[in-house]
Every structure is written in C-alpha cells, then in structure tokens.
Structure 1
Amino acid sequence: MKHYLPLMFALILALAGNGCAVDTRPVVTVYAYHSDPPLYLPEKNNDLSQEWVKKFNHWQDQVEFRLVHLQRTELNRLVDAGKPYVILWANPLWFAFRDSQLQSSEPIFWDADIVISSSQQPLQYQGPEDFRGLRLGGRKGFYYKGLEQIIEDRELLRVDVGHDIDNYQRLSRNEIDAFIMTRASFLYWQQHKPELKELYVARTPHDAYSRHLLVSHGYQNLLPLINDFVEHCAQSLQWQARLKYWGVEKLLNPFELEFEELMDIEPQQAPDDPKSPTSSL
C-alpha cells in the first residue's frame, strides 16, 4: 500500500492544479448601455448581452471580455474623453462624430426603432412629420433622426425616461401619445410579457439599422477575432436557439423578411382607416 501513496499524492496534486487553473488572457472591458430586455435584464441575472460575452469567451482563448453596463450618457462622456472602449450592440453612425477613428465589426443582427401607440388611438406613422402636435416618449441620451426641427418649432413635446416600460405606463395613463422603442425589445415583450396589451405598432419604422461591436483605435487588432466569432454565431444552431428564446432570432437576416413576418404578427386595420398598413398587438 505504501508504494501507491506517492502515486495517489501526485494524482491529487494534478487534480487540484487543474481545478485551480488561472485564466491568464488579457482582460478587455466591453460596454453595453441598453437598459431594456433582451439586452439587459438585471433582475434575472442573465440577458442576451451576458450570453454573447460568455459565448465569446468560451469560443476563443486569446482575450477575456468583461461586460460592464453604463447609461448612454455615461458612455458618451467616456468616448468624448478619448478613453479606450469596446461597445456592444451599437452602430458606428451613433458614435462616429464622437470618435472619427472608431471601427466596427460585421453586423451581429439588424434592428429598428418602431413607433408604439395605443390601439384605442393608433398613430398611423409614415414619417417624423406625423409627430407634430403630439407628446412623444423617448429615452434619455438617445438620438432620433429627423426630430430636432419639429422640437425646435415647439410642435413636438419629447419627454424622456430611463426604460421602455416607463413609456408603456405613461402611454397607459394617456400622458403621452406614442413612444419609440427597439424592435428587439418589442419582440421580447411579445414572447415574455403577454400582459402588455392594447399596443399599436406602426408598420413604418422610425429608423432601421444594424448592430455591431464598436472598438476604439487601440482595440482594432481585435476585429478579425470578433468578426470570426460573429460569423460563427450566424452559422451556429445553438446560438440561433438562444436568440429564439430571447425572441429575436428573425433579426439575424431581416432583409429576407416582410415586416409582418419580422414582427411575427398579422397586420390589422386601424379602427378609422380601412387601408391602414399597421399592426396591432
């Protein structure tokens, strides 16, 4: 028996060493600023942002991403100050005027800003001019194209909040006439919050865009690795299943879809307009 003791001791040390392995990869902070599901769900301790970062870290061994959530206004100040960054779920057009040297990954998926109103008073939105005379719910720190002049003319009252659910509640209390939210968040609501009812979704989005990772000049060497991972995810059935859980799997390639397919709801006529190209939830 005593002859086996050294062997057993060596085996225990080897197992202990494997269990205590230290990740020596360089750590890079990844910022996410969205405050709504599926991109941010602090009460559930899991969301699409966390899943993306975890999958990236598991997929490769060159760098470790660590996710940090910031408010958009905080992130704007960070970029304006010239600090290094990697930003998840952003579009280069939103930050290029703050940093002319930023670069972006390939698109992760496509999204849009959609116009939500009450099914009792539906807004048949075609463009920014349709907001004249209304009270519009927006988001703090967010830019919406085409609204500056209408607001300057005092023909649109924009009132910002921190979360989409705040705008939903204000719409329910008739404190605003409509609000803008992302299509991804609305799709999540459809799948996970069926109690949010009596919403009217204009068929014409206010804006459409792709979502990427943005990197500052010092992190541009990471782009080939990031782009390889984006391509990997686009082909991964496991990742597509996770996107389906979050309700956004159809946003991987929305240009192949009609609007009704993308929203996963049937178009419905507005009460006062038999030709209305809108859809109701």
Structure 2
Amino acid sequence: MVMRLSYLFLLPALALALRLAHGAETVQLATYYEYVPWFVPGQPSAGLNARLAGKLNSLSGGRYHFESVYIPRRRLDVLLQNGKVAIVVPWVHPRFFDDPGRTRYLWTGALMNDESLVVSPRAAPLEYNGPDSLRGKRFGAPSGHRFPDLDPLIAAGEITRVDVPQIKNALQMIVSNRRLDFTIVDRSTLDALRNDAFMDPALLHVASRPRTASYERGILVPLDQPELYRFLQGAVDALRREHNWLAPHKRLPDKRAVTADK
C-alpha cells in the first residue's frame, strides 16, 4: 500500500519530466497591434503581449512555450487560414475576425474589457452619433484593420479611409492638424499613449459617445486545437483572479521613431 501511494504521488512529477524530455510545444502568441500597451517594437520583453506569454509559460508547467510575436494583420489571416503554425491570437473579439457566431474559431473568456472611441482634433471636434455622423470625413486607420460598421460607407466613398502604419501615426496626424478628421482608438491604447512625447492630449477631442459598448478581449484559438484551448481557458480563468497582472509597468522609451508620413 505504501509503495502504491508513493507511486501515485510520483505520477505528476513523472508526467512533467516526460513533457520536458520531449520538449515544450511552441505556440506563437501573435498580436497584430504593433504599439503600446500590447507590443513595444525593439523591446521583446515589454508590453502586455510579452507579459501574457510569461504568465502562460508559468502556468503551463513545461507543456507549452508561448512566444510573443508581432504579425501584420493580413499575414496573420493567411497563417490562420493555412493552419500550418501553432498560433493563437490574444486581445481580440469575435467581431474582429468575422466570427459573431463563434463558429470559425474557439474563443476563451475575457482577458480584459475595452471600448472603441472616436477621436478628432480639438480644433475641429466631432461628436459621434452612429456611422452616418462620419460621412464626408477623412478617417485614419491602421492598414489591415477592419471596421464592419464603417466599411460600407468607405466602399461607397462617403468616408475616405487613409491607411497608416500604426494608430500612433493617425493620432500624430490629428494632433498636428494634418489631413485627418478622425480616427478610431480603443480606450486601452489611448490611455497607454497619453504620456508619449509626440501626443498632447489637450489637442485631442474624444467623442462623448463611444463607438462601441464595452466589449471583451479574449484569445482566439484555431478549431483544431481543442487541448490548447482547454489549457488557455483555464489560464484565463486563473489570470482573472489575479487582479493586478494587467497593472501598468514602468514603460521604457520607444527606440523607434515613428513619423506620420512613413
């Protein structure tokens, strides 16, 4: 009996040893947000995506190794469609990936809540009253990002979309009073950018009505990864109980200059 009990206690350790012997499965934790608070170019350990990768690695017990990576949106769509790389996408909502019924992908619970805001120059402020209130305006948007509520008006030429490399570029153009009437920014990103040297919040106007109600940011998991999904769902539940893991860390200066005309 004693030997049997000792064997049972050793089973978890043996399982972990076997996992380590075979090597952890590498999973790309891919974000298409190349800006704070999600990702800091040139500083792979900074940003919420890298912090999440570290948390998931600690929780996985050697089973998975999550790598924080930036992948442009169009490239990310191709990788998800091909299914040849182990990849998951955090910080997203089903409507970002045309999956309102949650049938194309598996979706974890929320990592955090957010909301989408309409931001314009203080010198020419816009109030948002639905997509029609933006007719005739020039809209700065990161290349590859989708806006289902605005896309029909953009396709009809009633809103002029100006693609920019990052949301930071659009905000820079707005504070400089250059060529844009508005942009769409999530509150989490706007809060993270308020202390950047390029941006004077006094020159920005945030519409009193958000573009969206509060929404959840979770993790997209391909349908053919049910075991990985189960781990991630449990990890998200654990992180939700750790209330301060998303608290801002001291941010390092951005080493890469970004210009509005890049």
* Same fold at TM > 0.5: yes
Task: After TM superposition, list the pairs within 5 Å mapping 1:7-156 onto structure 2.
Answer: 24-45=23-44, 46-61=46-61, 62-84=63-85, 85-96=87-98, 100-156=103-159
Query: Does structure 2 conserve the Cα–Cα contact (< 8 Å) formed by 1:189 and 1:196?
Result: no
Deviation at 1:174, TM superposition (A): 2.6
Match of 1:185 in 2: 189
**Equivalent residue letter for 1:203:** S
- Aligned pair partner of 1:204 in 190, 201, 209: 209
Which structure has the highest helix share of the two? 1
* 2:224 counterpart SS class: helix
Match of 2:259 in 1: none
Deviation at 1:191, TM superposition (A): 4.9
Instruction: Supply the distance in 1 between the matched residues of 2:96 and 2:158 (Cα, whole angstroms).
Output: 25
Query: Does structure 2 conserve the Cα–Cα contact (< 8 Å) formed by 1:92 and 1:103?
Result: no
- Aligned pair partner of 2:242 in 224, 236, 245: 236
- Aligned pair partner of 1:224 in 215, 219, 230: 230
**Equivalent residue letter for 1:30:** L
5+ residue gaps in structure 1? Answer: 1-20, 248-281
Question: Number of aligned pairs?
Answer: 225
Give the TM-score, by structure 1 length.
0.72
Instruction: Supply the distance in 2 between the matched residues of 1:105 and 1:57 (Cα, whole angstroms).
Output: 17
Larger relative contact order (Cα-Cα within 8 Å, sequence gap ≥ 6): 2
Query: Does structure 2 conserve the Cα–Cα contact (< 8 Å) formed by 1:38 and 1:246?
Result: no
Query: Does structure 1 conserve the Cα–Cα contact (< 8 Å) formed by 2:106 and 2:222?
Result: yes
Deviation at 1:195, TM superposition (A): 4.6
Deviations 1:11-67 (Å, cap 9, x if unpaired)? xxxxxxxxxx98932222221111120001124441110011111111231222122
The runs of 4+ residues in structure 1 deviating greater than 4 Å are: 191-195
**Equivalent residue letter for 1:235:** R
Query: Does structure 2 conserve the Cα–Cα contact (< 8 Å) formed by 1:48 and 1:246?
Result: no
* 88-97 or 170-179, larger mean C-alpha shift: 88-97
Match of 1:163 in 2: 166
Instruction: Supply the distance in 1 between the matched residues of 2:28 and 2:137 (Cα, whole angstroms).
Output: 40
5+ residue gaps in structure 2? Answer: 1-19, 252-262
* 1:106 counterpart SS class: coil
CA RMSD of aligned residues (A): 2.6
Query: Does structure 1 conserve the Cα–Cα contact (< 8 Å) formed by 2:119 and 2:185?
Result: yes
* 2:188 counterpart SS class: helix
Deviation at 1:192, TM superposition (A): 5.3
Instruction: Supply the distance in 2 between the matched residues of 1:153 and 1:96 (Cα, whole angstroms).
Output: 21
Query: Does structure 2 conserve the Cα–Cα contact (< 8 Å) formed by 1:135 and 1:176?
Result: yes
Specify the structure having the higher radius of gyration (Cα).
1
Instruction: Supply the distance in 1 between the matched residues of 2:126 and 2:181 (Cα, whole angstroms).
Output: 8
Query: Does structure 1 conserve the Cα–Cα contact (< 8 Å) formed by 2:29 and 2:49?
Result: no
Instruction: Supply the distance in 1 between the matched residues of 2:149 and 2:244 (Cα, whole angstroms).
Output: 39
Instruction: Supply the distance in 2 between the matched residues of 1:213 and 1:228 (Cα, whole angstroms).
Output: 12
Instruction: Supply the distance in 1 between the matched residues of 2:57 and 2:164 (Cα, whole angstroms).
Output: 33
Instruction: Supply the distance in 2 between the matched residues of 1:194 and 1:33 (Cα, whole angstroms).
Output: 22
